[in-house]
């Protein structure tokens, strides 16, 4: 396994594996026995960066979520896991009541909501301190200063280590970081967005992002990462939920003229290296000039083994240039 550092404060920064494990469906769609087997194998291989959220997976049973955090708590207790495993969780998008959703009825990012949600997550996970805590989605009903101060208060009292944000407009991330810096408070240092080798159209609106998807890492975010070397991008859905192996599963926003060319480049590099297309995608991210940690969910040990092998796949500069240039 290979590792990289997240965070800048010597008291809270962590060395994390370059491949993160997504636990979104653990304890719900993925049963406990399988989930434990996946976590065991990941840890055995040197993986130490597990991602969850307080609202995973509310949509599977019409509840409020919490199944994934609860399962991770049971696994940690049963295996005697301590701080050698870095657990990242998120808050802000948990439905306030069963049968509702994070679009119409989210917990939000008020100072009170942040504290209460973080306390519940620590209890479910069985952790005195959350290693990495994200603001899951934006909450524009609350002054950004309040959100910044709410997260910083948890860091000050030692119940949270590193802070992050996901699915935010880049300007909102920068504004929050500027507010934190001006007040001498800790700010967001890890950003989580959907990112893969194939590029989606970002002008396609949806219910959550009416201005176009804010969940995708595009050119603006790449520019921001280059300007702010202390930041790390955690790239969720790097394998597009199996779409590289099953192109018919590609979401509608990937249906544009650039997709076939980039798929062709991936397949060409896969043939040259003897790797799978999935492994080429992950290796492309892991060795990228930007600080990218792919976050991949799996439902079987075979899928996990395929992903783990990508850590040791070294792409040449020429192969990377071809992957980058395809359009």
User: pLDDT tens, 185-195?
Assistant: 999 999 999 99
pLDDT of residue 208: 56
Output the pLDDT for position 212: 56
Q: What is the dihedral angle through the alpha carbons of 217, 222, 227, 232, rounded to the nearest 10 degrees?
A: 50
Question: Would you say residue 97 has pLDDT above 90?
Answer: yes
Give the structural domain span for 319: 3-325
Confidence band for 213, pLDDT divided at 50, 70 and 90: low
Cα–Cα distance between 226 and 217 in angstroms, integer?
13
- Work out whether strand 3-6 and strand 14-17 pair parallel, antiparallel, or are unpaired: antiparallel
Domains contained in the chain, number: 1
Q: Decide if pLDDT at 207 tops 80.
A: no
Q: How far apart are CA 61 and CA 66, in angstroms?
A: 11
Q: What is the pLDDT of residues 136-154, one digit of tens each?
A: 999 999 999 999 999 999 9
What global pTM score does this model have? 0.96
- State residue 167's pLDDT score: 94
> Phi-psi bin for 103: left (phi > 0), alpha (psi -120 to 50), beta?
alpha
How do residues 229-238 score in pLDDT, each as one tens digit? 999 999 999 9
DSSP, res 100? -
User: Cα separation of 81 and 112, whole Å?
Assistant: 30
241-278 confidence digits (pLDDT tens) = 999 999 899 988 899 999 999 999 999 999 999 999 99
Query: Between these two residues, 205 and 208, which has the higher pLDDT value?
Result: 205
Q: What is the mean pLDDT of the chain?
A: 95
- Read off the CATH number of the domain in which 92 is found: 3.20.20.100
Query: Over the range 16-49, which residues count as b (16 or more CB within 10 Å of their CB) and which as e?
Result: bbbbbbbbbbbbbebeeebbbebbebbbebebbb
326: left (phi over 0), alpha (psi -120 to 50) or beta: beta
- Other Cβ atoms within 10 Å of 152 Cβ, number: 21
CA angle, residues 230, 233, 236, in degrees to nearest 5: 165
DSSP string, 64-91: ---HHHHHHHHHHHHHT--TTSEEEEEE
Closest listed residue to residue 285, CA positions, set 258, 266, 260:
266
Section 39-53 average pLDDT: 98
Q: How far apart are CA 182 and CA 180, in angstroms?
A: 6
Rounded CA-CA distance 212/202 in Å is 6
**HEC per residue, 309-320:** HHHHCCCCHHHH
202 — pLDDT class (breaks 50, 70, 90): confident
- Model pLDDT for residues 307-325, shown as the tens digit of each residue: 999 999 999 999 999 999 9
| Token pair belonging to 225 | 């990462």
What pLDDT does 165 receive? 98
Q: What is the mean pLDDT of residues 64-68?
A: 97
């Amino acid at each position: 396994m290979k590792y990289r550092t997240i965070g800048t404060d010597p008291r809270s920064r962590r060395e994390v594996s370059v491949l993160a494990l997504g636990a979104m469906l653990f304890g719900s769609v993925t049963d406990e026995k399988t989930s434990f087997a996946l976590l065991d194998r990941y840890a055995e291989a040197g993986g130490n960066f597990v991602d969850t959220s307080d609202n995973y997976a509310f949509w599977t049973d019409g509840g409020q979520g919490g199944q994934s955090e609860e399962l991770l708590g049971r696994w940690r207790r049963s295996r005697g896991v301590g701080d050698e495993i870095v657990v990242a969780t998120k808050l802000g998008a948990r439905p306030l009541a069963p049968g509702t959703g994070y679009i119409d009825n989210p917990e939000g990012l008020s100072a009170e909501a942040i504290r209460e949600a973080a306390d519940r997550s620590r209890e479910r996970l069985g952790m005195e301190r959350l290693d990495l805590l994200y603001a899951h989605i934006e909450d524009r009903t609350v002054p950004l200063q309040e959100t910044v101060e709410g997260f910083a208060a948890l860091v000050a009292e030692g119940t949270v280590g590193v802070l992050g944000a996901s699915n935010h407009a880049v300007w909102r991330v920068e504004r929050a970081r500027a507010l934190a810096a001006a007040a001498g408070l800790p700010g967001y240092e890890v950003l989580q967005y959907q990112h893969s080798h194939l590029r989606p159209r970002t002008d396609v609106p949806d219910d959550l992002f009416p201005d176009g998807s804010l969940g995708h890492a595009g050119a603006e975010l790449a520019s921001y990462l280059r300007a702010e070397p202390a930041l790390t991008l955690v790239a969720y859905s790097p394998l597009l939920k199996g779409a590289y192996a099953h192109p018919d599963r590609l979401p509608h926003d990937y249906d544009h003229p650039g997709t076939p060319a980039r798929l062709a480049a991936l397949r060409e590099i896969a043939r040259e290296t003897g790797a799978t297309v999935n492994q080429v995608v992950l290796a492309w991210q892991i060795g990228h000039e930007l600080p990218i940690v792919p976050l991949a969910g799996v439902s079987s040990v075979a899928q996990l083994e395929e992903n783990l092998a990508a850590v040791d796949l070294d792409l040449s500069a020429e192969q990377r240039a071809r992957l980058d240039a395809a359009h």
